Amino acid sequence: MIISILSWAWVASGIFLILLVLLHSPKGDGMGGLAASGSSMFTSASSAESTLNKATWTCLIIFLSLAVILSAGWLK
């Protein structure tokens, strides 16, 4: 039961990680400009990029932690 829940959480975090990476804009605005252009949630572009970086790193840590836990077989 717990393994299937963690497996689904791992898949969801992987998909969310892909979306977060696609939102990053290394040179131009790209897709990140579309997501943050009309939002009053962020005060500036640097604030939006900083928040996006934090969310990406958090999702990456969750994804890698779940990958190690599920592959190590600690929950059998």
Distances (CA, A) of 64 to 18, 55, 67: 13, 14, 5
Q: Is residue 50 part of a domain?
A: yes
Predicted pLDDT at 52? 92
Residue 47: its pLDDT value, please?
A: 86
Residue with the two structure tokens 């999702």: 59
Number of domains in the chain: 1
Domain range spanning residue 60? Answer: 45-71
Report the Cα 36 to chain-centroid distance in Å: 16
Query: According to the model, what pLDDT value does residue 25 have?
Result: 75
For the stretch 5-53, pLDDT in tens is 999 999 999 999 999 999 987 655 556 666 655 555 555 668 888 899 9
**Residue 63 within any structural domain of the chain:** yes
7 is a domain residue? no
Residue 62 lies in a domain: yes
Q: What is the pTM of this model?
A: 0.73
Residue 13: inside a domain:
no
